[in-house]
A = this chain, B = another copy of it.
Amino acid sequence: MNFTISEENYLKAIFHLQEKDGTVTTNALAEKLQTKPASVTDMMKKLSAKKLLNYKPYYGFSLSAEGKKIALFIVRRHRLWEYFLSEKLKFDWNEVHALAEELEHVSSKQLIDRLDQYLGFPQFDPHGDPIPDHKGKIKNVNKISLFDLPFNQMAEVLQVTNQSTEMLELLEHKNITIGTRLEVKKHFDFDHSVELKIKTTTLTISEQLAKNIFVTYEPGA
C-alpha cells in the first residue's frame, strides 16, 4: 500500500476532476498535471494494473473504490497541512496550497492522525474545503453562496473561492474570515449589493464579493 509521488498526484488529480466535472478525460488530466497525454496513458495502465482505476482504452477511466479511498487520504493530508500552515505558521491562504503539495506526500498515517489531533480535528481547510476524517470520510455540508443565502438566516463562512491577494485584503478589511457568523438582511436592486449583519454591526458588500463567499447553515435555525 505504498505509492510514488507521481502515482499520488495522478490519483488526487483524477479525484478532483471527477468531483468537479463528473468525468475525466486524458487531455484534461494531462492539462491539470502539466504533462502530456501520452504520459497520462502510461500511468493509467499502471494504476489500472494496480486496481486503482476502472480503465478501458479509448472509453475513459474512473477511480475504483480502492483508488477513491487512497485519493481521500491524500486529500486529507493536503488539507490538514494547509490548515497547519495557515493556522500555526501564519501563512496566507494563497501560499499554503503550494507548500501542502509537497507535504502531502509524507504518508505516515500515524503522523497525520497526530497532526489532526494537535490541530483540534479541524473540519475545513483555509479555503473552506472539507477535511476527510481519519477513516477518509468527508462530512457532507449544505454549501451555498452568500448571494443566494435567504434573509435573516444565521450562517457561517466556510469557503472563499477566489483567493486573490486583492480579495483577501478586502475580506480582512471587512472583518470577514472563515468561521465568521453572519446573516443577510437585504439585497439592493440597483447594483445587487448585499447588506450583512455580523454580530451587531451592519455592512454592505458587492454582488461580486458575495458570490465568492460560501456559507453553511442549518435550514431550520
Closest to A104 in B: B106
Identical copies in the complex: 2
- Determine whether A138 belongs to the interface, using a CB cutoff of 8 Å to chain B: no
| Complex contact B115–A106 (CB within 8 A) | no
| Complex contact B102–A89 (CB within 8 A) | no
| A96-116 interface bits toward B, Cβ cutoff 8 Å, 1 = contact, 0 = none | 000100110011100100110
- Determine whether A91 belongs to the interface, using a CB cutoff of 8 Å to chain B: yes
| Complex contact A99–B111 (CB within 8 A) | yes
Contact of A89 among B91, B103, B106, B115 (CB under 8 A): B115
- Determine whether A190 belongs to the interface, using a CB cutoff of 8 Å to chain B: no
Residues of B within 8 A of A108 (CB): 99, 102
| A103-139 interface bits toward B, Cβ cutoff 8 Å, 1 = contact, 0 = none | 1001110010011001000000000000000000000
| A174-203 interface bits toward B, Cβ cutoff 8 Å, 1 = contact, 0 = none | 000000000000000000000000000000
| Complex contact B91–A114 (CB within 8 A) | yes
| Complex contact B102–A106 (CB within 8 A) | yes
| Complex contact A118–B99 (CB within 8 A) | no
A77 to chain B, nearest CB (A): 12
C-alpha gap A102/B91 in the complex (Å): 22
- Determine whether A20 belongs to the interface, using a CB cutoff of 8 Å to chain B: no
Residues of B within 8 A of A103 (CB): 103, 106
Contact of A118 among B89, B102, B114 (CB under 8 A): B89
Show 17 residue pairs from A and B whose CB-CB distance is below 8 angstroms, ordered by the A residue. Answer: A85-B111, A88-B118, A89-B111, A89-B114, A89-B115, A89-B118, A90-B114, A91-B114, A99-B106, A99-B108, A99-B111, A102-B106, A102-B107, A102-B108, A103-B103, A103-B106, A106-B106
Q: Contact residues of A with B, CB < 8 Å?
A: 85, 88-91, 99, 102-103, 106-108, 111, 114-115, 118
